[in-house]
């Protein structure tokens, strides 16, 4: 086993207890998964971890912090690890579908009927599709699921979680609910 693999495995094992419980993604956890998948170099991961340990993360999502580094995958081809690429990787890593949120395909009034903007903001989730059978909810926190049973009960529909860009969720959360409120007030 290479030094890189040993380091990634050690970090991953430290974080494994968290994986089985409700929690927000931590920078160290995401870096460990990226290391294990050979997506970042051990030196880059360690430098960012140490820097953020001293400075703090300032409420930013780990994927956003990593995307800001403008790292390239340490392999031939050198693909840039931008936020969408990281989000798509995370979805695959945790076994959920990836969704790029297209605001033109959202039923704003349906979104507002599923949950309040306050509730959605609390969990950083966003309903993106509602049909007769299910509600599709975008999240950037795949290990946060405490909201799921409540929404399933209230909506009387199945819940399907998808992983979406954390910055898009944050931005569209405000826009979608404000637009839904305007549409309802106009009716």
Q: Name the CATH superfamily for 98-186.
A: Type II secretion system, protein E, N-terminal domain (3.30.300.160)
Average pLDDT on 95-116 reads 91
Instruction: Output the pTM of the full model.
Output: 0.84
pLDDT of residue 77: 77
In the chain, domain spans: 3-81, 98-186
| Least confident window among 82-86, 133-137, 175-179 | 175-179
Position 16 pLDDT exceeds 50? no
Q: In the chain, what's the furthest Cα-to-Cα distance?
A: 64
Query: For residues 162 and 137, is the Cβ–Cβ distance under 8 A?
Result: yes
- pLDDT tens column, 32-54: 999 999 999 999 999 999 988 76
């Amino acid at each position: 086993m290479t030094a890189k693999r040993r380091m990634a495995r050690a970090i991953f094992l430290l974080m494994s207890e968290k994986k089985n419980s409700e929690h927000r993604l931590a920078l160290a956890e995401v870096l460990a998964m990226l290391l294990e998948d050979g997506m970042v170099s051990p030196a880059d991961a360690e430098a960012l971890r140490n820097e953020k340990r001293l400075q703090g993360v300032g409420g930013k999502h780990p994927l956003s912090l990593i995307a800001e580094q403008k790292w390239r995958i340490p392999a031939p081809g050198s693909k840039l690890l931008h936020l969408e690429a990281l989000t798509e990787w995370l979805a695959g890593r945790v076994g959920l579908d990836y969704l790029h949120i297209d605001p033109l395909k959202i039923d704003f009034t349906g979104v507002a009927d599923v949950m309040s903007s306050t509730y959605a903001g609390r969990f950083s989730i966003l309903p993106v599709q509602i049909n007769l059978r299910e509600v599709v909810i975008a999240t950037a926190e795949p290990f946060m699921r405490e909201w799921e049973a409540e929404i399933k009960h209230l909506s009387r529909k199945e819940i399907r979680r998808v992983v979406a860009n954390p910055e898009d969720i944050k931005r569209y959360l405000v826009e979608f609910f404000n637009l839904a409120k305007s549409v309802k007030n106009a009716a």
